[in-house]
């Protein structure tokens, strides 16, 4: 009878084999992680609006340029903060949200310097906005954001906020006297409309549309894109004033810990994609203005555009707001912004 003898490998050989297997598994996991990392991106509006489209564009560029190593999953309608858009910055700072394309208004409770853009009638046109965001003042704002645990990458645009109401054309501060105007939850907005003689009423947008429909409030303020896409004319808003009283730039940003864990190559992809998506969205938003305005007029809305003299009356009526808020925003920052506007 033939007896076969089998021998086990030497202990040292077995140990080497096991080590190689473990090492290979580790390298495989690392490779898989490097190939597919998903990050959450918060936005307030969906891709029916330029704001949401900016976030989607960022996600598309990052996935393409990273060859699938990074995936940005966009969560619109503030769903990552249960609809409370003013909590978005805090959630990103805490790491509950990886990234966001956010509003200077919504982030201003945590970053007071962002109230710069809500100072009434500081920026008369898009050239003034670009001069601020692209200059010393813009750098100072980004430094303020970074000091609070969030890395800002690029600017986008939500646009100038215009005024609508159901009562009458508004071309002077006196026309606002006593009107109930829905405003966002910012004390600066309250102070601005109070200075203009209106009755500012803070409420969420979900509550605002029914209130406009019933006449509980007379008017509201929002970018032209929101007025158009959300069909605000359908809730009794027959009069629209293009007064450019403030602008709400968007900011592409990343949680600091997420940013620091990224390889330098991926940081550069993320930053450049944000810059490109932001510029694309800014140009698109501005190009669509005339088309949106024409559509709004066709729906029977009476549109008023302020002359230089009419705008100056609003400037004079809100000087006290600047005096009150400049110390809170920062004297140096406000002065840098004013210099940029004057030199544009």
Summarize the confidence of residues 170-181 as an average pLDDT.
98
How many distinct structural domains can be found in the chain? 1
Tell me the pLDDT tens digit for each residue of 244-271: 999 999 999 999 999 999 999 999 999 9
Residue 99: predicted pLDDT: 98
Domain boundaries, position 250: 38-343
In a domain, 1, yes or no: no
CATH number at residue 136: 3.40.190.170
In a domain, 12, yes or no: no
User: How far is it, in rounded angstroms, from Cα 104 to Cα 112?
Assistant: 10
Q: How many CB atoms lie within 10 A of CB 235?
A: 18
Q: How many CB atoms lie within 10 A of CB 282?
A: 23
Residue 114 has pLDDT above 80, yes or no: yes
Residue 22 has pLDDT above 60, yes or no: no
| Rama region for 223: left / alpha / beta (φ>0; ψ in -120 to 50; rest) | beta
Per residue in 89-118, is it b (16+ CB within 10 Å) or e — as a string?
Answer: bbbbbeeebbbbbbbbbbbbbbbbbbbbbb
In a domain, 24, yes or no: no
Tell me the pLDDT tens digit for each residue of 118-156: 999 999 999 999 999 999 999 999 999 999 999 999 999
Residue 34: predicted pLDDT: 53
Tell me the pLDDT tens digit for each residue of 205-222: 889 999 999 999 999 999
Residue 187: predicted pLDDT: 95
Paired with 160 in beta bridges are 247
Residue 9 has pLDDT above 60, yes or no: no
Residues 6+ apart with CB under 8 A from 207: none
Q: What sign results for the dihedral spanned by CA atoms 45, 48, 50, 54?
A: positive
More confident residue, 17 or 149: 149
Residue 111's φ and ψ, nearest 5 degrees, are -130, 90
Please answer whether residues 43 and 51 qualify as being in contact, where contact means their C-beta atoms are separated by less than 8 angstroms.
Answer: yes
Tell me the pLDDT tens digit for each residue of 51-107: 999 999 999 999 999 999 999 999 999 999 999 999 999 999 999 999 999 999 999
Residue of 187, 41, 175, 38 lying closest to 108 (CA atoms)? 187
Q: How many CB atoms lie within 10 A of CB 261?
A: 11
User: How far is it, in rounded angstroms, from Cα 305 to Cα 271?
Assistant: 37
Q: What sign results for the dihedral spanned by CA atoms 259, 94, 54, 144?
A: negative
In a domain, 56, yes or no: yes
Q: How many CB atoms lie within 10 A of CB 309?
A: 8
3-state DSSP assignment of residue 108: coil
What tokens appear for 104 in the block?
């200077």
């Amino acid at each position: 009878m033939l007896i076969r003898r089998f021998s086990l490998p030497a202990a040292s050989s077995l140990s080497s084999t096991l080590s190689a297997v473990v090492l290979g598994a580790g390298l495989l996991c690392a490779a898989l992680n490097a190939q597919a990392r998903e990050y959450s991106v918060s936005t307030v509006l969906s891709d029916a609006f330029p704001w949401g489209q900016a976030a989607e564009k960022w996600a598309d560029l990052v996935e393409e340029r990273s060859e699938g190593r990074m995936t940005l999953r966009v969560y619109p309608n503030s769903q990552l903060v249960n609809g409370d858009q003013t909590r978005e910055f805090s959630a990103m700072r805490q790491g509950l949200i990886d990234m966001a394309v956010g509003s200077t208004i919504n982030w201003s409770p945590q970053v007071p310097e962002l109230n710069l853009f809500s100072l009434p009638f500081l920026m008369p046109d898009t050239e003034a906005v670009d001069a601020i965001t692209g200059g010393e003042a813009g750098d100072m704002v980004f430094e303020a954001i970074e000091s609070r645990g969030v890395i800002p990458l690029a600017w986008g645009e939500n646009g100038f906020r215009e005024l609508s109401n159901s009562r009458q054309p508004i071309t002077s501060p006196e026309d606002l006297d006593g009107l109930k105007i829905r405003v966002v939850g910012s004390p600066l907005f309250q102070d601005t409309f109070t200075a203009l003689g209106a009755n500012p009423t803070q409420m969420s947008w979900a509550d605002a549309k029914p209130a406009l429909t019933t006449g509980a409030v007379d008017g509201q303020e929002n970018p032209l894109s929101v007025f158009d896409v959300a069909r605000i004319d359908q809730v009794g808003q027959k009069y629209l004033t293009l007064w450019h009283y403030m602008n709400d730039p968007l900011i592409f940003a990343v949680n600091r810990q997420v940013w620091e864990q990224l390889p330098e190559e991926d940081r550069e992809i993320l930053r450049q994609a944000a810059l490109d998506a932001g510029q694309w969205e800014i140009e698109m938003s501005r190009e669509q203005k005339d088309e949106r305005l024409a559509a709004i007029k066709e729906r029977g809305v009476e549109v008023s555009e302020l002359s230089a003299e009419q705008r100056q009356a609003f400037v004079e009526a809100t000087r006290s707001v600047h005096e009150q808020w400049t110390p809170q925003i920062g004297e140096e920052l406000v002065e840098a912004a004013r210099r940029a506007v004057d030199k544009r």
